[in-house]
Amino acid sequence: MLAFRAIARPAAVAFRARPVVARAGMAMRFASTKKFSEDHEWVQVDGQVATIGITEYAQKALGDVVFVELPSVGSEIEAGESIGGVESVKAASDIYAPVSGTIEEINETLGDSPSLVNKEAETGGWLAKIKLSEPRELEDLMDEAAYKTFCEEQ
């Protein structure tokens, strides 16, 4: 009889709701989504700040990067505007802002180690951090699956 009463209890007693406690890593994992432009730049957003860089596809096409020109901190930029450049042993290419905003930080490590763009294009080789002025512009960028298809079609 005791076993029967345990089974007959309402589920609410057996399964109590617990508050979800967000940890720093959890919030970033769900709130941060990488987007891609047709000019082969990536954007990773954390709150109102977007970190940008060139994609793995772009760095492979460029070859060994030997120089990176970065924008000035405090510069106001518009989406689609050239904000710097990347030079390699094969070619030189402009960097286009995928979003509008204000440059808050640049990756100064690239001055001494431009090859970091090749080694860690979509992580440590980031170029700049931009405080977003038009967050809706992110909707015009591609997700990872769409970007992969875009690259395959080129």
98 part of a folded domain? yes
Question: Residue 61 to residues 20, 34, 76, 90, 102: CA-CA distances in angstroms?
Answer: 44, 20, 29, 9, 28
Which CATH number does the domain housing residue 103 bear?
2.40.50.100
88 part of a folded domain? yes
pLDDT of residue 32: 55
2 part of a folded domain? no
94 part of a folded domain? yes
60 part of a folded domain? yes
* Burial group, residue 35, by CB count within 10 angstroms (0-12, 13-18, 19+): buried
pLDDT digits (tens, 9 = 90+) for 86-105: 999 999 999 999 999 999 99
> Average of pLDDT values for 99-127?
97
23 part of a folded domain? no
Q: Which domain holds residue 87?
A: 31-152
Weakest-pLDDT range from 24-33, 42-51, 78-87, 97-106: 24-33
17 part of a folded domain? no
**How many independent structural domains does the chain possess?**
1
Quote the mean pLDDT of the chain.
84
3 part of a folded domain? no
pTM score: 0.77
